[in-house]
Structure 1
Amino acid sequence: MAYWPALFAIISYIVTQLSAGRSITILTPEIKCILFITTYALLLMPLSRDIGRSWEVFINELIKTSLIFIIMANVLFTEARIKTMMWLGVAIGVYLSYQSYDLNQRGVFNTLGNRVSVDVGGMFGNPNDMAIHLVIFIPIAIALGLNSHKRTIKYLCYTVVALMTYAIILTQSRGGFLGLIAVAVAIIWKFGRGHRIRLMLISSILAICFIMLAPGEYGTRFRSIFNPSLDSTGSSSEREELLKRSIIVTLRNPLGVGLGNSTTFGVRNLVTHNAYTQVSSELGWLSFGAYLIFLIVPLRFLSKIETEMNISGENSSIYLLIIGTQIGIIGYMVSSFFASVAYQWYVYYPIAFAIGFRLVYERSQP
């Protein structure tokens, strides 16, 4: 049933674009990269080790994500629209975080008997993947708070940030925690001008204390990144083996083994648990290059805009939101090293925001 509303939305979008005399899509570097990856995955599907699996991932994940991303990139061309989507992402994060808190209070641990996972299905059903969404929208929530002139909105956003941070802890996601550290460092660097060294020292002490005193097995899980023998479940060693295999498969298969086919070489038919080697092993070297460009280009453009605003002294309402978007993408780039989420929605939202902010900024220039 979900296909019909999606199809209706796509048709409505195309009709609206053509009626307004606009092309079906703008062609930014990010959109070109996604079009290349999607087309490549489809054209080389006959060469996949498991064509059925490739088609399933293409229909259920890649094509949906690509189309919605392209639509967002084309319709989010005003500050108001971008902020609306940002608030939506934050609201989803609040819902997931509250559900995590509630499950923890009731002692309901659906993953490995000691980890909270929200029973909503889809991409949020996995605690590691849910943590990625929270990592992305924590800096965006901070930016929305700093950007607001209303004290109640500011306090609301900061409360939301605390709740989402606590939810990441409850998921006991190693990738989520590393992403959170990256986000914290970026926030200090971007927002803490004049106090960076002091803030860095305080944050480092807090991070070390947290790792040592984290509730449950979270501290042990985090330390197992560097010492796999500490992981009683064996997942750390397993993921290390998956990473090695995916790198070897990447080097031996320049064209890739086929979309979604990383399970054919994974330990116990598992995915790579790494978004980068997920793309490189499944879709080959060219698609991997396109994926990296897709992630890096928006950061470079936003950084350029930020620098120009600093030099000109422009007091734009989008300045803080641009920084929050950059940090959200950085958080994803770190966290996704531990999750096969390259074809899922997570990073496509902040990158669509980045494209929108570029359009807003360009229109504001004389």
Structure 2
Amino acid sequence: MRDIVVTAVILGLIPWILVNPVVGVLTWCWLGFMNPHKLCWGFAQTFPFAQVVAIATLAALMTWKEPKKIPWTRETKTLLVFTLWMFVTTLFALNPEGAWEQWNKVWKIMFMTYVTLMVMNTPKRIHMLLWVTALSLGFYGVKGGIFTLMTGGNFMVLGPQATFIGVRGGIALALNMTIPLMRYLQLTTSQRWIRIGLGVAMALTGLAVIGTHSRGGFLGAVAVSFFLILKTRRKFFYTLLLALTAYGILSFMPSFWAERMHTIETYEEDASAMGRINAWLFAFNLAKARPIGGGFECFRDWLFDRYAPNPGEVHDAHSIFFEVLGEHGFVGLALYLALILMTWRTATWIKRQAHGVSETQWLADAATMIQVSLVGYMVGGAFLGLAYFDLFYHLVGLVVLCRVLVERYQSGEDVRIGDYAFF
């Protein structure tokens, strides 16, 4: 029954997508972040819904009457160069079969990022996109928080299998990135009951992060909490609230959870942590030996025999930075870091230009919370190989769109956020 319902909903959206590509982008994001078909038990699990939605969106885009322009900023140019460089490294990959399979996934994420930039170019569309993103991942935050409460934290919170968030580190990273987006929605919502609901969702999502038992997720949660307080209004109130919440959560979790978190301080005695360091040194040695890196899916045992200090300890990258370094070399890492830095600096520019102006304050709030989300990505990602997680590139696109709107406002255009009729 679940398969039939999900299939009926998605395919039922196709006629709307063919009329309006905005619906297609929103549906693509819903499928990419929530993966509702992966919650099914039958044929829907493997049905190519994302491909069907993407084709319908492109078909609608071809007949769309609105101008179809990509804002060519430093971020979008760097992203294009990074994508092209990944194609080059795939051509010379040490694991060709695995590399081409991964490339087939990555280029689609990048391509749909540019489609999003062409389509979601109004205040209301950006706001809708943020709602869909936050609710899609927030579903797992609320569900995971309730699960953690009901089980006393004795079992791990996980996302659907065969997805970016199917492992505890992945779901923890995604939820840490989602909490700031919920906070943005709370700041820009006038309805009191929605603000309260979002506050409860944020608390449950934070509990779900703890319930993943992920050490990287825990560090990410600490970093996100610190920056939320640093960048939010009413700092004293939220500091006190967060301290009380953290005390309650830490007191609630079982003792073995605390013992696992304690290994962060004693990583030299932890086999898993030392295995990660071995993988990082492997990536560094590989990049030194091959300036273009090893290509996608190069963290393999036969390559560890050549480049790892300890060939017997074969691990995945376990870091977005070392994943890019090993797979795409120092050039790829430089492009990746430049993209992160440019996005951060553009968000800072948006805050300075939009803050304090009633028509654009929401853009300042969006930029601020996206920066906090990026903190969650960088801190959590430092211990997890999710360099191609589509939420990151999604946020890059959102920052670019927000900058375009600020510039439009400064040129004299009306940039009001619009009504909330889409609820």
Secondary structure at 2:76 match in 1: helix
Secondary structure at 2:318 match in 1: coil
* Deviation of the 1:177 alpha carbon: 1.5
1:102-251 matched pairs, under 5 angstroms = 103-104=147-148, 114-192=155-233, 195=235, 214-228=253-267, 231=270, 234-251=271-288
* Deviation of the 1:295 alpha carbon: 1.1
Say which structure, 1 or 2, has more relative contact order (CA 8 Å, 6+ apart). Answer: 1
* Deviation of the 1:230 alpha carbon: 6.0
Q: Is the 8 A contact 1:132 1:346 kept in 2?
A: no
Deviations 1:91-143 (A, max 9, x none): 1223212443465467599xxx9523234531121111011111111011012
Secondary structure at 2:72 match in 1: coil
Structure-2-length-normalised TM-score: 0.75
| 1:257 is aligned to 2:294 | yes
Q: Is the 8 A contact 1:253 1:281 kept in 2?
A: no
- Displaced runs of 4 or more, over 3 A: 19-23, 101-109, 118-121, 198-214, 266-269, 309-315
* Deviation of the 1:256 alpha carbon: 0.6
Q: Is the 8 A contact 1:48 1:258 kept in 2?
A: yes
* Deviation of the 1:22 alpha carbon: 3.5
* Deviation of the 1:20 alpha carbon: 4.1
Describe the shift of the 1:103–1:201 C-alpha distance in structure 2 as closer, same or farther (beyond 3 A): closer
1:307-322 matched pairs, under 5 angstroms = 307-310=352-355, 316-322=361-367
Describe the shift of the 1:88–1:295 C-alpha distance in structure 2 as closer, same or farther (beyond 3 A): same
Give the Cα–Cα distance (whole angstroms) in 2 for the partners of residues 162 and 120 of structure 1.
25
| 1:93 is aligned to 2:130 | no
* Deviation of the 1:352 alpha carbon: 1.7
Secondary structure at 1:338 match in 2: coil
2:87 paired residue number:
42
2:420 paired residue number:
none
Structure-1-length-normalised TM-score: 0.86
Could you tell me which runs of 5 or more consecutive residues in structure 2 were left unpaired when the two chains were aligned: 1-46, 413-423
Describe the shift of the 1:358–1:55 C-alpha distance in structure 2 as closer, same or farther (beyond 3 A): same
1:12-27 matched pairs, under 5 angstroms = 12=59, 15-16=62-63, 20-23=66-69, 25-27=70-72
Secondary structure at 1:122 match in 2: coil
Q: Is the 8 A contact 2:145 2:205 kept in 1?
A: no
1:70 paired residue number:
114
Give the Cα–Cα distance (whole angstroms) in 2 for the partners of residues 299 and 33 of structure 1.
14
Give the Cα–Cα distance (whole angstroms) in 2 for the partners of residues 154 and 31 of structure 1.
33
* Deviation of the 1:89 alpha carbon: 1.9
Deviations 1:267-302 (A, max 9, x none): 654321100111111101111111111111121111
Letter in 2 for 1:66: M
Aligned residue pair count: 356
Letter in 2 for 1:173: S
Deviations 1:143-170 (A, max 9, x none): 2112212111110111110011010011
1:335 paired residue number:
380
Give the Cα–Cα distance (whole angstroms) in 1 for the partners of residues 79 and 405 of structure 2.
22
Describe the shift of the 1:182–1:322 C-alpha distance in structure 2 as closer, same or farther (beyond 3 A): same
Letter in 1 for 2:109: T
Give the Cα–Cα distance (whole angstroms) in 2 for the partners of residues 314 and 106 of structure 1.
43
1:8 paired residue number:
55
Secondary structure at 2:254 match in 1: coil
* Deviation of the 1:310 alpha carbon: 4.1
% identical equivalent positions: 21
* Deviation of the 1:186 alpha carbon: 1.1
Give the Cα–Cα distance (whole angstroms) in 2 for the partners of residues 312 and 102 of structure 1.
39
1:279-294 matched pairs, under 5 angstroms = 279-294=324-339
Letter in 2 for 1:324: M
Describe the shift of the 1:209–1:7 C-alpha distance in structure 2 as closer, same or farther (beyond 3 A): closer
Q: Is the 8 A contact 1:13 1:71 kept in 2?
A: no
Secondary structure at 1:259 match in 2: coil
Give the Cα–Cα distance (whole angstroms) in 2 for the partners of residues 314 and 4 of structure 1.
37
Q: Is the 8 A contact 1:239 1:273 kept in 2?
A: yes
Describe the shift of the 1:88–1:199 C-alpha distance in structure 2 as closer, same or farther (beyond 3 A): closer
